[in-house]
Amino acid sequence: MAERVTIYEMAPRDGLQNEKAMIATPDKVRLVDLLSQAGFARIEVTSFVSPKWVPQLADAAEVMGAIARRPGTAYAALAPNMRGYIAARDAGADEVAVFAAASESFSRKNINCSIAESFERFAPILDAAAQDGITVRGYVSCVTDCPFEGEIAPEAVARVAVALMEAGCREVSLGDTLGRGTPERVDAMLQAVLRDVPADRLAGHFHDTSGRAVENVGVALDHGLRVFDSAAGGLGGCPYAPGAAGNLATETLDSYLRDRGFDTGLDRAALDRAATFARSLRKDLP
């Protein structure tokens, strides 16, 4: 029987968050519902962040309240602070995520605080989530490169990943935010992180800006990672990382994993329908 690899679907949140043209709430709901029909075990639906910073996701509660929840699918949301956590919990999020960076400069640009200060913000979220029985995922941005500092030392990534685990995160997603990671540098980064964090508590999040995301997934698979983030239709990027548009397309990742002999558990025809719809939401595509 083929080994299972979980694809963590990011299109509704990471894929749409910095689209300039506002996307109608029913279209966001439809995207999530199409992804649910494809059989994803985990979908990141939205972010409970101030509309001032991410206006595209100002309808987070409406979207969470309107989606058709599929048994067996966990619906997640970003929660950058306690106010966001409470809103996510009240909207029925099965999982919340907090985000950190391996780069001090990126942390200040992205969430307006130092790495150490970001952990002070996380602490009450993690305490509340533990009491509420809600799992928490931690993100580490800039695991190979930072738009402001250049190459990031593997040891810096490891320190943040360990801190997230010790804070109470169930899983840590390692993000190649700029999509500049090479297999060699991803290998070095993972070697450093895996000295202290087991592979079954890690996920890989590789942007495809340089066309090497699949190669980097291959390196991570060889290191034992079995969870990978992607976005249907290849949507997304980071508004605070210039030139980093483009998550790894879920359909590309699904094909690669199947070719490697892994089971993704997804209905490919339903995935293709979701990806087609996701791409239709991009106003900059022909």
For residue 128, pLDDT beyond 60: yes
Which residues are part of the catalytic machinery? 238
Give the least confident one: 21-30, 104-113, 270-279.
104-113
Average pLDDT across the chain, whole number: 93
Q: What percent of the chain stands above pLDDT 70?
A: 95
Q: Which of 87, 28, 84 has the alpha carbon at shortest distance from 56?
A: 28
Half-sphere exposure of 120 (CA within 13 A, CB side): 7
The predicted-structure confidence for 29-76, as pLDDT tens digits, reads as follows 999 999 999 999 999 999 999 999 899 999 999 999 999 999 999 999
Alpha carbon separation from 263 to 7, 202, 258 (Å, rounded): 10, 18, 6
For residue 178, pLDDT beyond 60: yes
Which domains, from first to last, does the chain contain?
6-280 (3.20.20.70)
In the predicted model, what is the mean pLDDT of residues 129-139? 98
The predicted-structure confidence for 221-243, as pLDDT tens digits, reads as follows 999 999 999 999 999 855 444 44
Q: With contact defined as beta carbons under 8 Å apart, do 87 and 56 qualify? A: no
For residue 260, pLDDT beyond 90: yes
Q: Rounded to whole angstroms, how far apart are CA atoms 225 and 166?
A: 19
For residue 138, the model assigns a pLDDT of 98
Chain centroid to Cα 182, Å, comes to 19
pTM for the model stands at 0.95
| pLDDT category of residue 246 using cuts at 50, 70 and 90 | confident
For residue 243, the model assigns a pLDDT of 45
For residue 19, the model assigns a pLDDT of 86
